[in-house]
Chains A and B, each alone.
Chain A
């Protein structure tokens, strides 16, 4: 509930930060970069290289524009991260995994990495619980969002804020 009330402020703020990031990248990075192989797999590749697509756009590409309700999804990550190069992350969905009613997919998004998509997972009734773990890179302190798709076609989301002291990705 707390998170929901924060959301408008956070997203408005982050839009301007993203724009700033986009502008900085655009200035530093040669024009060819975004058109390279990195952009080829971006789900929501919007046009050329200037502005990266927004977090909302990346999530919409996964949901196909369907409404996303907050709840059911829990993102577990250390709240304070020393080294952004390898950060354990797990996502679990509080939902049964029965053949007729289960989680079919989970997608993880980052608010402020160079690319919003982190990973997406396909699940099914062979999985007794809807829980996935991996290790990720974080470019900076930011919000992580996970969205789950259920077999009834509904989408649910959860998010968490992470503070990163040593960043990954942009510098080596």
Chain B
């Protein structure tokens, strides 16, 4: 399954420098509490998990519930002591899974 994502972070940082990662993904986050025009309840369809891993090492993770707005946005901070690959993964209802990779260069 594919989705539009936006990962806002520096691609090059100095060793040990603190930087912020802002990750957003296009998703309706249907709560399961709303009703459609026909009065029927719209079934829940949300993202439930997000994870950011740096060279196999967990950096940040999140469990999401229906209270998270559509197009979930998450921001957190990080430092790195070496160059490596960041893997961002979102999982959700109906087998949703989406992965993005960003190479981070540490100077």
On A, residues with C-beta under 8 Å from B are 29-30, 33, 36-38, 41, 85-87, 90, 110, 113-115, 117-124, 126-129, 131-138, 169-172
Contact = CB atoms under 8 A, between A and B. Distances in A.
Contacts of A138: 67
Given A118-B67, A126-B57, A136-B68, A37 B32 contact: yes
Contact of B48 (A41, A86, A133, A137): A41
Contact of A120 (B34, B63, B79): B63
A172 B68 contact: no
B60 A121 contact: yes
Interface in B38-91: 41, 43-44, 48, 54, 57-70, 72-80
In the A-B complex, the 9 residue pairs with the closest CB atoms: A122-B61, A128-B18, A38-B32, A86-B69, A135-B69, A118-B67, A133-B75, A117-B65, A120-B63
Contacts, number: 120
A63 B12 CA distance: 38
Nearest to B63: A120
A16 to B, nearest CB: 22
A127 B59 contact: yes
Contact of A119 (B41, B44, B64, B70): B64
A162 B7 CA distance: 29
A110 B68 CA distance: 11
Contacts of A29: 41
